[in-house]
Amino acid sequence: MAEGYPPEQRDAVYRVIAERRDVRRGFRPEPVPADVLGRVLAAAHQAPSVGFSQPWDFIVITDRARRERIAALARRRRDEFAADLPGARARAFDQLKIESILDTPVNLVVSCDRTRGGRHTLGRATQPRTADFSSVLAVANLWLAARAEGLGVGWVSFFDERELAAELGLPPHLEVIAYLCVGYVTDFAPEPELAAAGWARRRPLAWAVHAEEFGRRGLPGEEPVDPLADVLAAIAPPDAEAMTAARERQDRMTKPRGSLGALEDISVRLAGLAGACPPPLPEPACVAVFAADHGVHAQGVSPWPQEVTAQMVANFLAGGAVVNAFAAQAGAEVTVVDVGVAADLEAVPGLLPRKIARGTADFTAGPAMTRDQATAALVTGLEVARDLVAAGNRCLITGDMGIANTTASAALICAFTGADPADATGRGTGIDAATYARKIDAVCRGLSRHQPDPADPLGVLAAFGGFEHAALAGFILGAAALRVPVILDGVIAGAAALAAVALAPDAICACFAGHRGAEPGHAVTLDYLGLRPLVDLGLRLGEGTGAVLALPLVQSAARALRDAATFDSAGVADKH
Ligand SMILES: Cc1cc2nc3c(=O)[nH]c(=O)nc-3n(C[C@H](O)[C@H](O)[C@H](O)COP(=O)(O)O)c2cc1C
């Protein structure tokens, strides 16, 4: 058996991997000597490549005038990207440095020739992208070798590729893989700059390792983890100490005690959730609109055709729905998650394709979904929450789209709270008396068929739920486990929250009721959960609209607790 390296050499390999950084600041003016640059390029040139095709070329750029022209190209793309960002993200982005084209003495371009070696290049015929992967491996070698030489490397991808290719005189069959800014630096940061800036977080390794099949997550030598069980185990009560500190601070702030009304409670709850006073500001925020179709639509419970679900998804993605307008106003991002739309959706940016099935079954005829499907939807929701938090969001907002989903919500609410279907069923998007009667009847028939047991939340979800309800329940649980606030929209989110809280009662600590919707079942739900809605405007749209309206209120509650002066600090006399 071949031997590994002696321990100190092995440690050095792992050290360079751990300490390699994307560097954008603190470059020094010293030139990079030719022999050093040569060693780093030789390391790149030793990368593995598909069929040993070595598809890379390296273009070394030092000319100032050329770098200025290239920097101008990057600036333009940066400005375009910034113009598209929601409020809090745009402010954070403004603070980020994304390139050091002019601050470094050398810029390197790594290209890829996807045709090199002809058609029989081993492996590339079946997977043409392997040519690009090979050039990326050359970049990885270069990046590690540079770190060992004390050279910082910053990768810039803010380019229109053909614009850059033209500037470099690149023939049309070559692709730009990487634009790298290279130079000596004052130091290497201990963690990614984007992590330090709160833009994104590192995902735990355990989320990324699967045993045998995708979805069976688990580290080598450990039992596969059950993501749902993991999340349920991680959900804990609020931090009493942080809540006391927040209450005390509210009383010392330069205002009459209690004068911020419900916002004081919000701030205290945010502190309890974060385990810190003041808690982090709940921004950036992201609305996740979970979309799915419902078999119960066949019972004539909605005047809208089922195709509207898919059409509205397209509208959200095109930015044309009310939730997009409200989110733009509040500075939140909109993400759409297809968990069960009964149509094939085109892959576009902003859409997370996580379809469990093309719509649920009709719950008046049998369970809406299998228990496995309900579990899969819950896990999908909690993974969306995790990913959005890893992407740097500090506030999650529920959204939903699914024609007939108020009928499924009414059934869930009755099952969890024991409410009478006549009290929990509403007119949804607006229906006539006959449709309303059919809707109540469908809920009644469903309840008598399934005889739901609220102590079996998964069974209740499977009996009636939409995929969006189950996914939203998982989303809420995911937020609670990561101790990030989740602002609930209307009756659909409320029904999902009932399921989440039935699975983990402490999940309620993460829930903030954005608004009270017009559906009667929503009021029943909020009472049952003990949540006070922040906005009460008779909205009955869904999509996340009511919750997005409440975002500035939740943010203001946190900001007041953080920023307002106390009687002591401001030298203002207290009433006492
Ligand atoms: C393909 C790729 C493109 C990147 N593009 C940019 C970029 O345009 N601007 C930037 O500042 N960083 C860019 N980065 C750097 C990443 O932000 C950085 O690698 C990540 O935050 C992790 O930090 P670390 O490399 O220090 O571990 C890019 C990285 C990769 C791998």
Ligand 1 neighbourhood includes 176 CB (under 6 angstroms): no
DSSP 237-292: ---HHHHHHHHHHHHHBSS-TTTTTHHHHHHHHHHHHHTSSSPPP--SEEEEEEEE
Q: By percentage, how much of the chain surpasses pLDDT 90?
A: 89
What is the per-residue pLDDT for 403?
A: 97
**Is the model's pLDDT at 575 over the cut of 80?**
no
Q: What is the mean pLDDT of residues 505-510?
A: 98
Q: Which of 157, 158, 179 best tests ligand 1's pocket when mutated (most atoms within 8 Å of CB)?
A: 157
Look-up of token digits 């058609």: 119
Distance 109 CA to ligand 1 centre (A): 15
Distance 468 CA to ligand 1 centre (A): 34
Distance 155 CA to ligand 1 centre (A): 6
**Is the model's pLDDT at 428 over the cut of 80?**
no
**Which atom of ligand 1 sits closest to the CA of residue 156?**
8
What are the pLDDT digits (tens) for 201-249?
Answer: 888 898 899 988 888 888 999 988 889 999 999 999 999 999 999 999 9
Ligand 1 neighbourhood includes 159 CB (under 6 angstroms): no
What is the per-residue pLDDT for 576?
A: 61
Q: Which residue among 175, 283, 468, 543 is the active-site one? A: 543
What are the pLDDT digits (tens) for 94-116?
Answer: 888 999 999 999 999 999 999 99
What is the per-residue pLDDT for 198?
A: 83
Q: What is the mean pLDDT of residues 183-197?
A: 94
3 state SS of 443: helix
* φ and ψ of 256, to 5 deg: -60, 145
What are the pLDDT digits (tens) for 545-561?
Answer: 999 999 999 999 999 99
Ligand 1 neighbourhood includes 22 CB (under 6 angstroms): yes
What is the per-residue pLDDT for 204?
A: 86
What are the pLDDT digits (tens) for 281-340?
Answer: 999 999 999 999 999 999 999 999 999 999 999 999 999 999 999 999 999 999 999 999
Distance 93 CA to ligand 1 centre (A): 14
Look-up of token digits 């081993």: 122
Q: Which of 155, 175, 179, 182 best tests ligand 1's pocket when mutated (most atoms within 8 Å of CB)?
A: 155
Residue 412 structure tokens? 């869930």
* 19 carries an active-site annotation: no
What are the pLDDT digits (tens) for 248-298?
Answer: 999 999 999 999 999 999 999 999 999 999 999 999 999 999 999 999 999
What are the pLDDT digits (tens) for 395-406?
Answer: 999 999 999 999
What is the per-residue pLDDT for 87?
A: 85
Ligand 1 neighbourhood includes 157 CB (under 6 angstroms): yes
What is the per-residue pLDDT for 120?
A: 86
Ligand 1 neighbourhood includes 155 CB (under 6 angstroms): yes
Q: For ligand 1, atom 2, which residue shows the shortest CA distance?
A: 155
Ligand 1 neighbourhood includes 132 CB (under 6 angstroms): no
**Is the model's pLDDT at 543 over the cut of 70?**
yes
Among 118-122, 366-370, 371-375, 473-477, the minimum mean pLDDT is found in: 118-122
What is the per-residue pLDDT for 216?
A: 86
Cα distance between residue 504 and residue 477, in whole Å: 8
Nearby residues of 427 by Cβ (< 8 Å), 6 or more positions away:
436, 518, 519
What is the per-residue pLDDT for 215?
A: 84
* Cβ atoms of residues 531 and 308 within 8 Å: no
- How is the beta sheet containing 351-353 ordered, strand by strand? 351-353, 333-340, 285-292, 395-401, 486-488, 511-513
Distance 574 CA to ligand 1 centre (A): 51
Nearby residues of 201 by Cβ (< 8 Å), 6 or more positions away:
195, 389, 390, 392
What are the pLDDT digits (tens) for 28-69?
Answer: 999 999 999 999 999 999 999 999 999 999 999 999 999 999
Per-chain mean pLDDT for the chain: 96
Q: What is the mean pLDDT of residues 419-447?
A: 94
Q: For ligand 1, atom 20, which residue shows the shortest CA distance?
A: 192
Distance 22 CA to ligand 1 centre (A): 6
Distance 156 CA to ligand 1 centre (A): 7
Q: Which of 15, 22, 180, 202 best tests ligand 1's pocket when mutated (most atoms within 8 Å of CB)?
A: 22
Ligand 1 neighbourhood includes 24 CB (under 6 angstroms): yes
